[in-house]
A = this chain, B = another copy of it.
Amino acid sequence: MIKINSNYSKLKASYLFSTIAKKVSEYQKNNPDKKIIKMGIGDVTLPLPPACVAAFSSAVEEMGKADTFRGYGPEQGYEFLRKAIADNDFKARGMDIEPDEIFVSDGAKSDSANIQELFAEDVRVAIQDPVYPVYLDTNVMAGRSGEPADGRYDNITYLPCVPQNNFLPDIPAETVDLIYLCYPNNPTGAVADKTYLKKWVDYARENKSIIIFDAAYEAFITDENIPHSIYEIEGAKEVAIEIRSFSKTAGFTGTRCAYTVVPKECIIKDENKTEYSLNAMWFRRQSTKFNGVSYPVQRAAEAVYSEEGKKQVKENIAYYLENARILREALEGLGYECTGGKNSPYIWINTGKDSWEFFDMLLDKAQIVCTPGSGFGKAGEGFVRFSAFNSRENVIEAADRLKRLLG
């Protein structure tokens, strides 16, 4: 008799964004004449940059001709894209990352979900709270958590991100092995400076831990003193894996392309001093379970690094950041404590109320959709997240509605 993976039974039944979608569609059904402005889910709204569209189209044409057609590509991604990434995202900023340390994938979600497979079932996992649910759920599915109790799981170390610590949690008292950090942070919009990240890198080196650094929002950083990559910290290449995405940078949420950096210096020793390379293990994992990203999509991603591509991406990011500024100023003007909205497309506000109550009130009275902070974790209770991914027109309208409702 076959048995299911019983860890699935520990998962919470409903997913945050599907609950929101249900509430919104119900409200719209009952109020068909109202215009709802959605600032909940972090999905981009501007089209693909023209440079990406041109490269994408031309690669599709190649696939239709016998002499330029491509079948299976390398599982880790084509050299042309890995080289463009290494040169532009790392070497140009003084980090020594080579193309064979880069693994192109279909999404940061897949990579941040799959990376835990490389580690033993009994490693201790630390996640920030509030947090992008994928880090937690995938470790629950893999059996690394205990049972859920009171909105949290046993055997998981939660790192609360709260105003008291400026959303930069301290190193925990207990020893942790696999540490998920995300900066610029989703959902709080907080950023980390080098001093803060160095604490974690030093800790990981000392305790032989591994950091999974999610830098999906690095393109939104404008302050010069904020690091774009964990590898700007000395020694990080020995203890950190970094995940990045073209989704929020270049509007690839529906096109699907991301990458993960696994430095060759990431070596883990067991009790017998046998050494294991995480780079080699991830290569084995990806070549066994993945067959590479669509060739035309990789060409579209490569175009992000062309001169026109860089310019167009920069304009799009500036557009979203200006949206964020408008929203943040409106909320601050209303007396709310805000994080993010600078160096980040997200604004995290302290509502002084129950998260879902505030969500319902905004939907009902101002037809604005936000994301309830409690959906990201217990420490998110009382907060909501606004996303700046929207049209300028909608953002201005939303700011006005907020002022009228809450002013």
Q: Which residues of A contact B (CB under 8 A)?
A: 1-6, 8-9, 11, 15, 41, 43-48, 50, 52-53, 56-57, 60-61, 63-66, 69-73, 106-107, 109-110, 113-114, 117-123, 133-134, 137-138, 141, 177-178, 207-210, 251, 253-256, 268, 270, 276, 278, 281, 284-285, 287-297
Contact = CB atoms under 8 A, between A and B. Distances in A.
A15 to B, nearest CB: 6
16 contacts: A1-B177, A2-B123, A4-B270, A6-B120, A43-B72, A48-B69, A53-B60, A57-B60, A71-B254, A106-B290, A106-B291, A134-B288, A137-B288, A254-B292, A255-B294, A294-B294
A106 B109 contact: no
A9 B275 CA distance: 11
A63 B210 CA distance: 37
Contacts of A289: 109-110, 113-114, 134, 138
A118 B57 contact: no
A345 to B, nearest CB: 13
Given A46-B66, A60-B60, A276-B4, A294 B254 contact: yes
Contacts of A48: 63-64, 69
Nearest to A255: B294
Given A4-B120, A110-B289, A284-B8, A61 B53 contact: yes
A275 to B, nearest CB: 10
Contacts of A133: 288
Contact of A64 (B11, B53, B268): B53
A3 B268 contact: yes
A2 B178 contact: yes
A248 to B, nearest CB: 10
A92 to B, nearest CB: 27
A47 B72 contact: no
Given A110-B290, A256-B294, A47 B61 contact: no
B256 A291 contact: yes
Contacts of A61: 53, 57
Given A120-B6, A270-B4, A63 B254 contact: yes
A199 B335 CA distance: 71
Contact of A254 (B73, B106, B141, B256): B73
Contacts of A251: 69, 71
Nearest to A176: B2
Contacts of A43: 71-72
A33 to B, nearest CB: 22
Nearest to A208: B1
A45 B294 CA distance: 16
A45 B276 CA distance: 38
Given A53-B61, A297-B297, 7 more contacts: A2-B208, A2-B210, A3-B122, A69-B251, A109-B291, A138-B288, A255-B294
A285 B133 CA distance: 13
A52 B15 CA distance: 34
A117 B284 CA distance: 18
B110 A291 contact: yes
A66 B391 CA distance: 10
A138 B296 CA distance: 28
